[in-house]
Structure 1
């Protein structure tokens, strides 16, 4: 062999070793390539909740990647807006899967878009973590192998409110709800569970309002005409703001107890300011008063990063991405079937405390804060609250098995 050829072969071998050590020349999908995660949500339709939610998962993404990523790979999130429309949700999912080549999906806010993504995950056999949609069908009637859910379901949220509602010992109840899947599900759960706890209860009015288009004057008048002893409110976001303001103006809440889903979430309470209701029994996130190490650190990190305080959406976004990172670590690789198996029984810490994704129905045990509404310094807050662990808000396992189709 002549000397130039020998030098060429030594250079080629050295270059090959250098390429292996730096990742240069490796095929797509090699360990150094990021794990691509698709995220879909209704940012334009529900900005009050979803802008803090986006910040939450962005903070988690930064923290995971700063710590070296997962299994030697960084995470990358590719996000799409579904305009609050189930059809757009599915189209976004298909584009993320086929064009962007994402490895898994997460997100969803409204229950009907969440159900569309749940079905998409089943049909395409792609992992989907439903971050926010509350409808029970996601993990029960329409549950499938590839779908998990982080937030407490509608049933769980309502179940957390039943003991204080029953303790009011009010016989005549009226209910106002947004007329779509979440509202209809919450209505049925409240009626069934309160009837169990208080057999003599009567439901004297059920007022349905179109989502995002409540006629607050008509709703308040209908409730007043029914002369209830207590009101169960399921409205949220701008519908809640209009309802509370109109009810305050007309004196609807004077002398009446009100039990209300989601009202204590800062994204909704903040919009009311000094007009926030007082003395209502509510669910929410009193970030300013939860004195646990994890929540204190989360609040500090969030404030340092965004110069703002977290909302409930911030927790949901953060815990969703952290759950995905934990599941990927446990799976050991980006494989859909292995990731599904890893999530069944997965334990994750969160600002709400430790949670577990149940193998039985893929529902996490994230719990619910229940307390009273108040106004302090011209701002609505949550006081006298307790945390109810999600594991204590589930129906019996046999009931879940009857509701959920065989998926394995």
Structure 2
């Protein structure tokens, strides 16, 4: 009897001790993120901060069905081969539940191909190539940012209204630049049949020799230029054009050049009067943006960049997808695909959806004109263009996206 009593007492004591232990933490949802951090720090360091802000907010609010988000980031080396190797490590070693990220278009396409082969859900955050959701689209890949086609279409009203006949084009010679140039020529020719393209400069990414490029454009005597350069290449181009006065009186339309990542380094040398897509964070009055701006500045003590918005909206999109998939029974790739088709998300620019037809998000962008104020480049007269307004119809997508699903 005495032994039996002691055993019972020990069992009760053990049960009480276990009851007093903290509850075992729920298994985290692991997000595998890969990007060209070393190659493109101006955009991707703010992007990383935007992701971290969203993860912290979501986890502070209880996570996804009680499960915290865990973000695992890797550098993809800025090239497709390294990116695929990194993606494989994230999937096989880190056991991530979904992949996201990539910046350069050819890298994004490589990871999208990997996702299709390995049947892993992939949210392409930044790569702009149209191929990723159209000709090379697959059921496992969705894309957040407004595509090359979308952003060119956003600029088209101003480009066509300028009624300039002789256009020169300059772009980085890889997938993003090539597709942007081709789309611009196609859309402008449709809007203005008498247009002439008198010069085309395709430059190596990150290795622009600005002098000869600017001189070749000047020698062609265009009355308008379509620019697709970004980052250090854009800065070199603008400074050389300023030095040579090569673009005086020339109308310029430019992708991405209103983004603070690329405009801020130019300071007072920033171009004046260019029509651009970008991010005038200082002039946006949307309630969703005000909440994001306050939270970001509170966390980091600095204003956001467009990369910050993309990083934040990426995690918010994944969280919405995880929530919807969890309610349907789990966060495997097939349930994530089903969740993302028609998924509604609210980001810093307000609500948007992921279209079921081509897996493209309708998050838009701002179009405005560059100016210099207080010694810094800014966007003026900016207007928000809803991404849905510049996308082809679902019926048209069927021809653009053959048998992707």
Q: Aligning the two structures, in what range does the TM-score lie when normalised by the shorter sequence?
A: over 0.9
Give the match for residue 348 of structure 2. Answer: 351
Give the match for residue 175 of structure 1. Answer: 169
CA distance in 1, matches of 2:178, 2:128: 11
TM-superposed CA distance for 1:385, in Å, is: 1.3
Structure 2 unaligned regions, length at least 5:
none
2:210 is equivalent to residue 216 of structure 1: yes
Give the match for residue 26 of structure 1. Answer: none
Secondary structure class of the residue paired with 2:277: strand
TM-superposed CA distance for 1:212, in Å, is: 0.3
Which residue, 278, 285, 304 being the options, matches 1:284? 278
2:146 is equivalent to residue 144 of structure 1: no
2:32 is equivalent to residue 38 of structure 1: yes
Which residue, 351, 371, 376 being the options, matches 1:374? 371
CA distance in 1, matches of 2:48, 2:110: 21
Secondary structure class of the residue paired with 1:211: coil
TM-superposed CA distance for 1:395, in Å, is: 1.8
CA distance in 2, matches of 1:314, 1:9: 54
CA distance in 2, matches of 1:397, 1:231: 32
Does structure 1 conserve the Cα–Cα contact (< 8 Å) formed by 2:198 and 2:222? yes
Give the match for residue 395 of structure 2. Answer: 398
Give the match for residue 96 of structure 1. Answer: 90
Secondary structure class of the residue paired with 1:134: coil
CA distance in 2, matches of 1:213, 1:269: 19
Which residue, 100, 123, 129 being the options, matches 1:129? 123
TM-superposed CA distance for 1:257, in Å, is: 0.3
Secondary structure class of the residue paired with 2:78: coil
2:28 is equivalent to residue 3 of structure 1: no
CA distance in 2, matches of 1:18, 1:127: 39
Which residue, 298, 311, 317 being the options, matches 2:311? 317
2:302 is equivalent to residue 308 of structure 1: yes
Once the two structures are superposed, residues 279-312 of structure 1 have per-residue CA deviations (whole angstroms, 9 ceiling, x without a partner) of 1100000000001111111111111111111010
Once the two structures are superposed, residues 155-184 of structure 1 have per-residue CA deviations (whole angstroms, 9 ceiling, x without a partner) of 001000111000000011010000000000
CA distance in 1, matches of 2:88, 2:255: 33
CA distance in 2, matches of 1:199, 1:209: 27
CA distance in 2, matches of 1:116, 1:238: 24
Question: Could you state the TM-score of these two structures normalised by the residue count of structure 1?
Answer: 0.95
Structure 1 unaligned regions, length at least 5:
24-30
Q: How does 1:5-404 map to 2 (within 5 A)?
A: 5-11=7-13, 22-23=23-24, 32-332=26-326, 333-404=330-401
TM-superposed CA distance for 1:386, in Å, is: 1.1
CA distance in 2, matches of 1:353, 1:193: 28
Question: Could you state the TM-score of these two structures normalised by the residue count of structure 2?
Answer: 0.96
Give me the CA root mean square deviation: 1.4
TM-superposed CA distance for 1:6, in Å, is: 3.1
